[in-house]
Structures are given as structure tokens and as C-alpha cells.
A and B are shown apart, each in its own frame.
Chain A
Amino acid sequence: MVSFKKPDLDSFQERIHIATLFVTFCFLLLITRLVWLQLVSHGKYALLAESNRIALVPAPANRGLIIDRNGIVIGRNYSALTLDVNAEEVKGNVDQLINDLSEIVAISPRDRRNFKRSLEDSRNMGTFPLRSMLNETETARFMANRYRFPGVEIRARSFREYPYNELASHLIGYIGRVSQRDKERMQTEIEGAKADDPDALQASFLPGIQYVGKIGLEQSYETVLRGVPGYDQVEITAGGKPVRTLSSSPSVPGKNVVLSVDIKLQYLVEQLYGNFRGAFVAIEPKTGDVLAFVSKPNFNPNDFVEGIDSVTWKELNDSPQKPLYNRPLKGIYPPGSTYKPFMALAALENKKRTPSQTISDPGYFDFGNHTFRDDKKGGHGIVDMQKSIVESCDTYYYMLARDMGVNMMHDFMKPLGFGQITGIDLQGEAKGVLPSTEWKKNTFKKPEQQKWYEGETISLGIGQGYNAFTILQLAHAMANVANNGIVMKPHLVKAIEDPFTRNRVLTTPKESYRIDLNAENIEVIKKAMVEVNNSGTSATAFKGTGYQVGGKTGTAQVFSLNSKDYKHGSTAEFLRDHALYIAFAPADKPTIVIAMVVENAGFGAQYAAPIARQALDYYIEGKWPKEVPEWKRAP
């Protein structure tokens, strides 16, 4: 019925052929692409598909306990039900979600703030607790409404807790959520560990580490306490929903740390300080065990664990009392008259004085154009070495300093630990200043400042001038003398305990080194210090002890008041002198030495010595002062 012209059909046939060629070309293009993807790049894509499919779900390790020397647990974990929110599921509607949830369980503004902060810190990855410690009613109510909240679930989580709150806060420290900086730091640590041991892959599993010690022992014993987090290899969907567990590697719990600290002694001293600020360090001289490590005022480390809220943080950070400041570790103070026994020992060892050699004290000491005054108007009269310590005669030490010179003093004090890092097991220790001509040259910039002036030597003798040490150093030096020159590194942790077997490995270091001191000279100093408490400046505080105590009071000027008469109470509180005290007991065989400062309190004998007395009464004789509430073990 239809006949078409031949040329038309030919032209159509020709175009069909061209179309076929075009189609063939396009399909070859596709095949090339598929060969590229499926043969050439197959390995790469297979790997990508695997990493898509498999997620490592961290299983955090139980953190080790912190236990005092008598077995009292002061840092522990508790398990609680928490309301966990998967950040990825929340996306933009955090507030709406929290509002909806708050109709079911109570959510405080603080919970809300902390949660939002966690979200921001994590860049919306991971699961975070919105509320912890859910009670039964809340749990039941949530479970009934669970379908309304995808991505929200109830989980049992382990939390860090410091059962005695403020007690020993500076020494325990606290843990907190891992920050970006912590992560970077751990990454470099792990790379270092890997270089040593290529199999240490497990330790590199960072996502399992959710908390990290931020300060105190929690920080310095982080790797011991943390343990090794485990993980499950889980097959997941694109939405992050787990499908099945492929394999799992269990976590290894952290080890317990056993402190050398006697937490009851610590508690007693903290109570005795009351509202005074200050630092108190007690050391067992034979071992270097730190028995008490007090920094007042304290803070509550529990506030920090889940992220501190800004109000509390501001309060702590802005307080003029500086409660976050670790005073015994970082605070540097002029030692004042507590320096005198060490000066006396230096004189004996360097043969600059004999015990019986006397001076005459008119109540002042002229050097150059300057008059250095003694505390006592009119002077102490004829003064030998013992009297110089017992009565705390300044003139004796002005002269001694002049006779020794700055470098001789420096060379003697250095091995005792003054102005040196003690190496205690806490981070951030201050070095202080033990002056010498070389120190001055290195410290100052201008040539006239770099020069040492003889006049600057004089006040060094009474623990003033450039002298500035931590209370830890002072206690350490006292322990070194009490231990007859055998230097033991001070430490807060005595042993590492296996959480299962309870096997303890002692960490106590052996002696660091020995200072060659003449035993007779040491005896002279110890005897004089005992006499301080019998008839000297702190005799009142130590009346009627059942044991012999060596001590020395000190008063450190906050700043020079020139020669104006000092009237206690008339100076603004923060300008008042610091009261210092050092002690060792029992005198014949010391088991404890103390160094302490009560900030802006006034005279050492009046404010510091009584605290030392009560601490020693408890430690040596077990006597508990009536005015201090009994120690109660935390539930």
C-alpha cells in the first residue's frame, strides 16, 4: 500500500547505521568506566565499602581506683542509668528535643548547657548523656514514650566520683571529657609508643577514651588509671544503626593507685585550716612518702567530671582566694625564719661557724649604707648557734650570710632541694628561686641588673630577698635533713594495685642521692630545733607533747613594709604576713616532717604551729582534737 522512494530509505538506513555506531560508542564508554571501577580500582572501592560497613564501637575501660595508704577509697566509679542522645540523630533540633524530653524526665538548665557543650565539642558526632542518675519512675516513663525519641536511649554508664568531695581535691585532681587538645596530645603519645612497640595498636584506639585526667594524680597517673579501652567491630547501616557484632576485643580495666597519703591526716589538717588559705605538706623522711598534701581553699572535683557549668567555673576562677591554685606545688613563698636551721647547718658544714661561737646582737646590722633590723628591739645580746635558732635571731644570720656569700649558700642549699624540682608525681611543679650570682646573670637583661650586689646577700640569711620556694621544697629539705642527708624523692603514690589480684607493685623510688653531711652537725641543728619547741618561739603550741618535736617558726613578709612598725590587723588582709612552720617528729627517729604556710595570718608561732601540733598529735599518738568533727567514711 505504501511505496517509498529509494533514496529516502537509503538515507534512513545510513542514519540508522550512524545511530548504531553512536550507541556502540556510548556503550563502550560505559564499559570502560565499569572496567575502571570494577577491575582497576576494585581494591580501593572494596576497602571503602568495608570501612563503610564496619564501625568500631568503643567499650571504655573501667578506670582504676584511687586509694589512700590505709585502704580508704577516695576516687571511684559508680554505675548509673543515663539518658543518652545520639548527636547525629538530633541534627538541628536540639532544643525541641530537650523540651520534649523534659516533659518526661526532669532536665535542669545545667544538664542542658552541659549537653549542648558536649555536642559542640564533638562536632555532633557520638552519643552523649543528657541526664544521669535516672530514677525508676523516670526510667519507666521514658521507656513508655521511647518510640517518640529515635536516637535517645537509656544506658548504664560508669561515672567517676570523688566521695569526699572537696577533700584532697588538689592532689586527686579530676577527670573530664577528652578535648581536642587532649586527643592531639594522646595521638603523639601513641605514635611514640608505636615506634617502640609496633603491636601497641590497641592503645591507639582513641575513640574509646572518653575521659582523661585533667589535673592532679588523675592526670599524672592517667595511663595507669585509664586501662585499655576495648571495642566491638559492628556492622552498621548508613544511618549508624548496628546490625550485628563481627568481633570484639574486651577492655582491660585500669589499675588502682595506692597513695602514700593518710587521708585522715589530710582531712584533719584541712579542717584545722578552717577558712585560712595556705599549704601543708607532710613527708615520711625515711621513704619520701607524702603523708598529707594540703592546699586551701579547695574545690569540688566532682563539679568538673561532666564539664563544669559556667557559673561555678566563674565563681572558682574569679575568686580572690584562688581555690583552683595548687599552693604546695606551685605557690612560691619566701621561707622566712624557717630557713635559719638550714643556714646554720650550712655554716657548720662550711666551717664558717662552730656551735659555740657567739656574736653580739645590738638589734641591727649595718652593711654599707643600709641598716638591717632584728625583730627584737635592742637585740638578743650574746648569741650562739642554738640561741640563734631558738630565739630566731636575725642579726646572727645577717652576719652569717655576709660571711658565706651568696654562692656558698646556693651550693649548700641546692642538694637539699631548695629552688629545685623535687620530681613529685604531679605535673606543674614550680621551681622557685635559689639565688646565686649566676642565677642573677641569667635572669635579668640589663647589665646593671645582672650584677650581684653584696647588700642583696644579707637578707638571704633570714630567708628573704630573692629566696622563694614551694612548701613542698621546704618539706623536702626538712625531710632530707631529718633523714641525715639521704634524699628520697617525694611521692604521693606508693603502689600500683591490680584490680583483680590485688597484687601491689611498689612505686617507691630508692634514694635519689646522698648529701655528705656530718652527723654531729645534724645533731646540733636537730637539738636546737627541739629546743625551739621547748623554750623558743613555738613553745606554747607544743606544751605537754608526749614526744619530742623539732620545729622552727617563720614569718614571711608579703612585701616590704620598710621600717614602719608592723601592727597585726591594721594591714589589709591580703598584705598581712604569711605564717610558716617546719617540724619533724619524733625528734630522735623522725617518722614525719612538716612544712606549712598559713597565708596572711601573721606570726608563724601563733597560727601555723598549733595546726602542726594537732596534726602531729594525731599522726604520732592518734589523738583527735575535740573541735574537729570525727572522720566519717563515705557511704
Chain B
Amino acid sequence: MEKSPLIKVKGFFSSIFAGLDRQLGLILLGLAAVGFFTFLSASQNTPVQIADELRNLALSFLVMWMVSRIPPKWLEMGAVWIYGFGVALLIAVAAFGLIKKGARRWLNIGVVIQPSEIMKIAMPLMLAWYFQKREGIQKSWDYGVAAVILAIPVFLIARQPDLGTALLVFAAGLYVIILAGLPWKWVLPFVGLGVIGILLIIIFGSTICAHDVVWPFVHDYQKHRICTLLDPTSDPLGKGFHTIQSMIAIGSGGFFGKGWFQGTQAHLEFIPEKHTDFVFAVFSEEFGLLGNLILIALFFALIKRGLAISASGPNLFTRLLGASVTLIFFTYAFVNIGMVSGLLPVVGVPLPFISYGGTALVTLGFGAGILMSIHRHRRLVQS
């Protein structure tokens, strides 16, 4: 008997989704839906079309799907090559990259690419590979080697300069190193130093932000970002404008929000980069605290699920890689919401799955694909 067309279609879909984690899939679908509906409102008066967003979502899904089919073993084998390729590209950028807005971040290879983006995945891959290699024979100096692996690309990215990406790459690597067992006695002093540093900046903000004070190691515009964060009103029409306007958008949203397409801050162009980095302000203004709680709950669910998948990974490489990727999702979300709500300095970090942007969605799809792949291969191993 011939199978009915409906069953054929059903069969086709079930074969597509076969092996994908249902929970993670639903969470990602929820985030993508929030992202899409926010995009419809946020992209008003921008040259971006709905088709672009749909294409990006489709592309992201495709990347995720393809990566989910790749056995983690392959990634493990390719890790060194991907990392090496990434570092080579970064060196190429330093040598003959394109300069835009005072930063040398891009490389023209027919299309213009930003190699630092590759490092967001390549870094955890490489470090997870290294710790997998040293599993069982791990020594203290392995953390030194890991630190060097981490430092080279971070240094290259930081001097482009692109402090935001450098920090994210650094965080991705650091997660691997810490999860690999870096002794707490080495971690805690740095945490302590960081806390003290932040407190000092907050307390002495007005002194060190004086116009003629030059900060070591950081560019003037980076100093401005931190200083306007401490006191956005110091430059309400200039550097502080973005932060002030996005805080107004969020605050004026209230508990229930102004309603979809009703955000005045967004639609009257008071929010900069409203469909990309500052999309959270648009979402917040229109959907209020209620929407925000739902969104944060989705992110929290994503991370919980991601970590759970990682914990069930077949080997150390997959566990480290999965957890690191998951924590990168968290870092993106936290840093983005933090900066848009005026808690953190403005760095170019998109809100995962919500911000418009092809590169970011592809990277995120890649990350999600890794988690899917780990999930898929766990079962194969255990059965």
C-alpha cells in the first residue's frame, strides 16, 4: 500500500528533527519567535526587510541543523585547525585589515569578514580539545598552556581594538579553563581583585573621569563608555545619549509595556541601534516588565538545558565545549541586557536570537548545533 502524502511529509519532518533535543528546540523556537515579533516593531523606519530577518533565521536553523549532524568527534579533530585558521586570519587582519571607524577589524577576501567572530567558537573548541588531550595526566602547568592559547587571540582582538569581542572570547576560554578544574585558590584572588576594581571605579568615578585624566591601556572612547555609565547625565546629548534613552524606554514601559508597535522611544527614533544591539530596549518598552521576566525565564531555561545536555556529554571535550557554549549564550544575554539597562558599559554585544544580524545568528546557530550534536551523540553512546 502506498503511503499517503501526509504521512510522507510527516515522515520527512520527523527525519529532519530526529535526534534534536525537544526541550532545547522549543526554548530556541520561543526565543526566535520573540526575536521575530520584536524585529517587526523594531525594524520600522530602518532599511532592513522582514525577508532579511527570515533569511537569517532560516540560515541560523540550517547551520544548527547541519552542526547537529556532525559527530562531536569531528569537531574534536578539527579543533586545532579551526583555531589555527582563526589565529592566522587575526594576524592577517593585523597586517592588512580594513579600517572602519578607527578600528582594524575586517578582512576583505571577496566578501568582508570579521575573523574575531570565528574565535567565539574556535576558542572553546581548542581549549576543550587541549584538556581532552591531557585528561588523566593533567598537571598544573597545563593551565599555563591554556592561558597562552587563550591570550594570543584575545590580545590580537583587543588591539584591533575591539574590547567587547575580546572580552567575550576571553570569557569563552575562561569558562573552559575553570570548568576543566582550575583550582579555586587561583580563581578567587582574581574575582576579589575584579570586585575591588569595580568598587574603586564607582567610588572615584568623578575623579578619574575628569576630562584630562588619561587611563592606561584603554582608548579614550572606552574610557568615555565607562564614565558615561557611571554618570550618563554628564554627557546627555553625546556619549550618554544611548544609555539615557534606552533607560527611558525601559522605564517608561512599566509593568505591562506600551504594547506591540506602541513604543514611542523606539518609533520616534530615540533608541539607537534599535533593531540590533539595543533591541532589548524596544522589547522592554513595548512588553514591559512582564515581557522581560518571560524573556529572562527563556534565557534561564536555555542555559539550564544547555548545561544539562553538556553534563551528559560522552567525554570531557563535549562536556567542556557544551558548557562553555551555553555560558557564552548567558554572557551575551547578560552583557547585552546589562548594557541596555545601564548596568554595564556599552559594548557591541547582540542579544542572542533577538538582535537582528546575520553573523551573530549564524554563530549562535553553530553553538546551538553543538549542543544538539552533543545531545544526539549521548544517546548513541549510551545505547
What is the interface of chain A, defined by CB distance below 8 A to chain B? Answer: 1-2, 4-5, 8, 11-13, 15-16, 19-20, 23-24, 26-27, 29-31, 33-35, 37-39, 41-42, 44-46, 48-50, 52-53, 235-239, 243
Contact = CB atoms under 8 A, between A and B. Distances in A.
A583 B200 CA distance: 86
Contacts of A50: 252, 264
Contacts of A53: 264-265, 268
Contacts of B251: 37-38, 41-42, 44-46, 48-49
28 contacts: A8-B135, A8-B181, A16-B179, A23-B300, A23-B327, A26-B334, A30-B334, A30-B337, A31-B292, A31-B293, A33-B342, A37-B250, A38-B292, A39-B254, A39-B255, A39-B289, A42-B252, A42-B253, A44-B251, A45-B247, A46-B251, A46-B252, A48-B248, A49-B249, A49-B265, A50-B252, A52-B248, A53-B268
B178 interface: yes
A295 B252 CA distance: 62
Contact of B341 (A8, A12, A37): A37
A23 B269 contact: no
Contacts of A20: 303-304, 307
* Interface residue SS majority, chain B: helix
A217 to B, nearest CB: 41
B341 A33 contact: yes
Nearest to A15: B179
B284 interface: yes
Query: Which 4 pairs across A and B sit closest by C-beta, in order of nearness?
Result: A45-B251, A49-B252, A38-B289, A37-B251
A554 B330 CA distance: 98
Given A4-B316, A16-B310, A19-B327, A45 B268 contact: no
A38 B268 contact: no
Contact of A236 (B268, B289, B292): B268
Determine which residue in A2, A19, A41, A239 has the highest number of CB atoms from chain B within 10 A of its CB, and name it: A19
B70 to A, nearest CB: 17
B337 A12 contact: no
A609 B316 CA distance: 118
Contacts of A1: 314, 381
B356 interface: no
B61 interface: no
Contacts of B270: 52, 237-238
A3 B208 CA distance: 55
A29 B333 CA distance: 13
A45 B248 contact: yes
Contacts of A15: 178-179, 181
A233 to B, nearest CB: 14
B299 interface: yes
A34 B179 contact: no
A2 B382 CA distance: 10
B296 A49 contact: no
Given A52-B268, A53-B268, A34 B252 contact: no
A44 to B, nearest CB: 7
A236 to B, nearest CB: 7
B93 interface: no
B134 to A, nearest CB: 12
A35 B255 CA distance: 9
Contact of B179 (A5, A19, A42): A19
B376 interface: no
Contact of B250 (A4, A23, A45): A45
B286 to A, nearest CB: 12
Interface string B206-247: 000000000000000000000000000000000000000101
Nearest to B270: A238
Given A42-B252, A46-B254, A27 B296 contact: yes
Contacts of B293: 31
A45 B343 contact: no
Contacts of A37: 247, 250-251, 341-342
A126 to B, nearest CB: 16
B167 interface: no
A304 B265 CA distance: 42
Contacts of A2: 314-315, 381
Interface string B249-276: 1111111000000001100111000000
A53 B292 CA distance: 23
B360 interface: no
A24 B300 contact: yes
Contacts of A13: 311
Nearest to A17: B307
Nearest to B311: A16
Chain B interface size band reads 35 or more
Contacts of B310: 16
B325 to A, nearest CB: 12
A8 B316 CA distance: 9
Interface string B290-301: 001100100110
A45 B269 contact: no
Contacts of A236: 268
Contacts of A24: 300
Given A45-B251, A52-B265, A31 B334 contact: no
Contact of A19 (B254, B289, B300, B307): B307
Contact of B343 (A8, A30, A35, A235): A30
Contacts of B124: none
B120 interface: no
Given A12-B181, A49-B249, 5 more contacts: A19-B175, A19-B323, A37-B247, A53-B265, A235-B264
Contacts of B245: 52, 238
Nearest to B272: A238
B338 interface: yes
B188 to A, nearest CB: 12
A50 B270 CA distance: 12
A1 B290 CA distance: 47
B181 A11 contact: yes
Nearest to B290: A38
B97 interface: no
A206 B257 CA distance: 35
B189 interface: no
Contacts of A39: 254-255, 289
Interface string B343-368: 10000000000000000000000000
Tell which of A27, A31, A50, A236 has the most Cβ of chain B within 10 Å: A27
A276 B381 CA distance: 115
B319 interface: yes
B136 interface: yes
A15 B319 CA distance: 11
Contacts of A41: 251
A237 B268 CA distance: 4
A236 B315 CA distance: 58
Contacts of B173: none
A88 to B, nearest CB: 11
Contacts of B175: 19
B86 interface: no
A45 B252 contact: yes
A38 B327 contact: no
A24 B304 CA distance: 10
A199 B355 CA distance: 49
A247 B372 CA distance: 56
Contacts of B255: 38-39, 42
Nearest to A37: B251
B254 A34 contact: no
B35 interface: no
B288 interface: yes
Contact of A27 (B179, B268, B311, B334): B334
Nearest to B253: A38
A237 B269 contact: yes
A357 B303 CA distance: 121
Contacts of A33: 338, 341-343
A118 B323 CA distance: 62
A9 to B, nearest CB: 8
Contacts of B342: 33, 37
Nearest to A30: B337
A5 B310 CA distance: 17
